[in-house]
Amino acid sequence: MNPAALFAGGLAAGLAAGTASCAAVQGGLLIGLVSPSGHTHGPGPSRALPPVAAFLTGRFAAHTALGALLGLAGAIVRIGPRTRAALLVAAGTAVVVLAVRMLRRRRDTGCASARGTPAAECGHPPGHASAGGGHGHDHVPRGSAPGHAVTAPAGLPGTAGRGGARSPTLARAAALGMATIFVPCGVTVGMEVVAVSAGSALGGAAALAGLALGTAPTLAALGLLVRTLASTRWAALAGVAAMAAGLFTAGSGLRLGGWLPDFPPVQFGSPASAAGRALTGTDGVQRLTIWATAEGFRPGVAVASAGRPVEIAFRTKDNRGCTRTLAIDDRDLVLPVTGERVVRLAARPEGRLRYACGMGMYVGFIRFERVP
């Protein structure tokens, strides 16, 4: 395909469908743009812009490079559903840890800044030496006049130290952006398939570069918001939002990998009804139709006979949500916005086959029953 058309397709996918899903899965990494002390260098978006720009630049570069590899080497470069699930769990756990550290440091900083607060209430035993080398509830650096407390300038709590402030370096921000390729959202999985089908490094790079640009505005807004909030009294809100994003990401990975208990969707009517049971043709092949909708898969539980091959037609109608990409039988499947894709499975023993959308949010089941 024409690289320009692939780029336009990736850009459209990012703008139309990738903003919500990619922000939900990858947005948690933006908490890493906040300094280790949980603050930025002063309030205002202008201070937050360089690290956010570095994050987006790293993300764009990594996605472009991955697209080139996929277009050149094909599917052998792609990450399988189980590996992707493990990476989502790891990324979500890391974001939760960062959020907890941010909340704890915010609490300690707010406590220590209150005049007359007993040291024990800030997590320090009475008489314990403060980080600056002083004693008691005032932070007095060594060499300063007794009884004269020296405080950091507004917006720079805990930043003094050898080598300058402890704000994140641009290199770290860029590395966080590059790490987003290991926690792909549902739309990313779909564009990776497009990059593989491009058959060239240029075409694959164009597809994922367009996606990275299409989703950049939302991630930029999130990054600026997180960095700005971290220097205000609303810093705790940023930490709570980051924790929610981390838990969501880890939960998605656990669901995608099938590592959480599954609760089959509620069936309205008998699962053995015509809508949920495979029909066997004259060629001996069973055929199922499953609709992938924005609210999940319908029917959520289908029934087929064990010991016979089955063809599953996944159909869509104006679907731009997570269920457009799904992992079934350890492989990824990308569905059109409107249309269908057919998956053929060899004869399976009695039991249950589980499949999930690319982000692990929605699951479906096919129950294979013994032939009477």
> Please, are residues 92 and 251 in contact by the beta-carbon 8 Å criterion?
yes
Helix intervals (H) in 14-124: 19-26, 45-73, 81-113
pLDDT score, position 274: 47
- Is residue 325 within 8 Å of residue 186, measured between CB atoms? yes
Residues counted in the chain: 372
Helix (H, G, I), strand (E, B) or coil at 107: helix
Instruction: Decide if 211 contacts 10 (C-beta within 8 A).
Output: yes
DSSP code of residue 147 = T
Using the structure block, give the residue that is written with the tokens 């005032």.
Answer: 138
User: Quick check: helix, strand or coil at residue 20?
Assistant: helix
Tell me the HSE value of 15 on the side-chain side, using a 13 A CA sphere: 9
C-alpha angle 158-159-165 in degrees, rounded to nearest 5:
165
Helices (H) and strands (E) in the chain, counts: 8, 10
Domains observed in the chain? 3-130+166-257 (no CATH), 279-369 (2.60.40.420)
What does DSSP assign to residue 302?
A: E
**Per residue in 166-225, pLDDT tens?**
455 899 999 999 999 988 888 888 899 889 988 899 999 999 999 999 999 999 998 888
Record the tokens describing residue 91, joined without a space.
């990324």
The two tokens of residue 8 are 């336009």
**Model confidence pLDDT, tens digit, residues 234-276:** 878 888 888 888 898 899 999 999 998 877 665 544 444 445 8
Contact present, 151 and 161 (Cβ < 8 Å): no
What residues have CB less than 8 Å from 337, skipping those under 6 apart? Answer: 316, 318, 319, 320, 324
The whole-number mean pLDDT for each consecutive block of 10 residues of the chain, a chain of 372 residues, reads: 90 80 84 64 65 95 96 84 92 90 73 50 49 45 45 38 54 93 86 90 96 93 85 80 88 91 59 68 94 92 95 94 90 91 95 91 93 74
Spatial distance between the Cα atoms of 270 and 277, rounded to a whole number of angstroms: 10
What residues does 334 pair with on adjacent strands?
A: 325
Reduce the secondary structure of 197-220 to three states and give it as a string: HHCCHHHHHHHHHHHHHHHHHHHH
